């Protein structure tokens, strides 16, 4: 398995005009293909900033980011859109399904932007929704299904273009514990059975426990990087 993510001296500074806030201190980080990583930290710790950069929604102020061997540090907006479309699947805390649009159409969305034909789109969306256990809810609107079901639609949508990596930002933050476990089991299965790299942000230790590696953030830097199965990497120096 090769590297899917390599950050070298990546930092992020927000310039609010009067003051400069360094939300992410220079960071080196490598994530291997097929890893299952949880990023923990309180709010304001820099974990969301990191997620935005990893997810190619934002660019680092300095440093280099290689995603799947490709330098994405200084790509144009449209190039980043293409990378998000092809390489990345997002799952959000608030589901972010398009309202008044059926589950099926929501899952088709990334494929529309990938210019997949409508026939193939529908077939793939059906297959994915069945896979997350929503084969009976294809034509339901987001407001007609439960939170857990919404998040499953979101996962199906994230998988539409077969991305090598899934970023999940507090995926269980709006769910009850039973649904949370179900959702985490889907991620685990994806990781174990299909080798998809999963990176999730959470502040709940029991959710982080599903992952194989836990990165903890505080004040814009990683304070611990723990790999389970007895292997500890120890503190990461910035």
Smaller CB separation from another protein, 18 or 115: 115
C-beta of 14 vs 146, nearer to another protein: 14
10 Å Cβ neighbour count for 181?
A: 15
Q: Which listed residue (22, 73, 82, 188) binds another protein by CB under 8 A?
A: 82
Establish if 113 lies at the interface with another protein (CB under 8 A): yes
Question: Is 98 near another protein (CB under 8 A)?
Answer: yes
* 110 scored as a contact of another protein (CB under 8 A): yes
CA gap 37, 58 in Å, rounded: 20
Q: Measured from the CB atom, is 57 or 223 closer to another protein?
A: 57
Print the binding letters for residues 141-160 with another protein: x by CB under 8 A, - otherwise.
Answer: ----------------x---
Rank residues 52 and 197 by Cβ distance to another protein and give the closer one: 52
List the one residue from 78, 117, 143, 231 that touches another protein (CB under 8 A). 78
Token pair, residue 96, equals 């972010």
Question: By CB under 8 A, what part of segment 39-58 binds another protein?
Answer: 52, 55, 57-58
* Cα gap 223→238, rounded to integer Å: 9
- What long-range pairs does 24-29 form, CB within 8 A, spacing at least 24? 24/49, 24/50, 24/53, 24/60, 24/220, 25/219, 25/220, 25/221, 25/238, 26/62, 26/63, 26/238, 27/63, 27/221, 27/222, 27/236, 27/238, 28/236, 28/238, 29/5, 29/215, 29/222, 29/236
Beta-carbon-side half-sphere exposure of residue 35 (alpha carbons within 13 Å): 21
Q: Is 13 in the site for another protein (CB under 8 A)?
A: no
223 is an interface residue for another protein by CB under 8 A: no
Question: Min. distance of Cβ 228 from another protein in angstroms?
Answer: 30
By beta-carbon proximity to another protein, the closer residue of 120 and 232 is: 120
Q: How far is the CB of 161 from another protein (least distance, A)?
A: 8
Residues 26, 107: Cα–Cα separation, whole Å: 36
Give whole-number Cα distances, 184 to 32, 221, 226, in Å.
Answer: 20, 26, 19
Size of the residue set binding another protein (CB under 8 A): 27
Chain residues that interact with another protein, rule: CB under 8 A: 52, 55, 57-58, 77-78, 81-82, 84-86, 90, 92, 96-101, 109-110, 112-115, 157, 161
């Amino acid at each position: 398995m090769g590297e899917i993510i390599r950050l070298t001296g990546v930092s992020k500074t927000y310039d609010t005009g009067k003051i400069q806030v360094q939300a992410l201190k220079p960071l080196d980080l490598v994530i291997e293909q097929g890893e299952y990583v949880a990023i923990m930290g309180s709010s304001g710790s820099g974990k969301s900033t990191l997620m935005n950069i990893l997810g190619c929604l934002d660019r680092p102020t300095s440093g280099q980011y290689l995603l799947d061997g490709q330098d994405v540090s200084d790509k144009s907006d449209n190039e980043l859109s293409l990378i998000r479309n092809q390489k990345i699947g997002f799952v959000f805390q608030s589901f972010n399904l398009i309202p008044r649009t059926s589950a099926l159409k929501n899952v088709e969305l990334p494929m529309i932007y990938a210019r997949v034909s409508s026939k193939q789109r529908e077939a793939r969306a059906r297959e994915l929704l069945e896979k997350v256990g929503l084969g009976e809810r294809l034509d339901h609107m987001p407001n007609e299904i439960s939170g857990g079901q919404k998040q499953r639609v979101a996962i199906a949508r994230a998988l539409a273009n077969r991305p090598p990596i899934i970023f999940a930002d507090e995926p269980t933050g709006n769910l009850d514990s039973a649904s949370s476990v179900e959702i985490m089991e889907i991620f685990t299965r994806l990781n174990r059975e299909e080798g998809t790299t999963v990176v999730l942000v959470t502040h709940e230790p029991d959710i982080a426990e599903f992952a194989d590696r836990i990165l903890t953030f505080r004040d814009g830097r990683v304070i611990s990087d723990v790999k389970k199965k007895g292997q500890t990497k120890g503190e990461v120096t910035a």
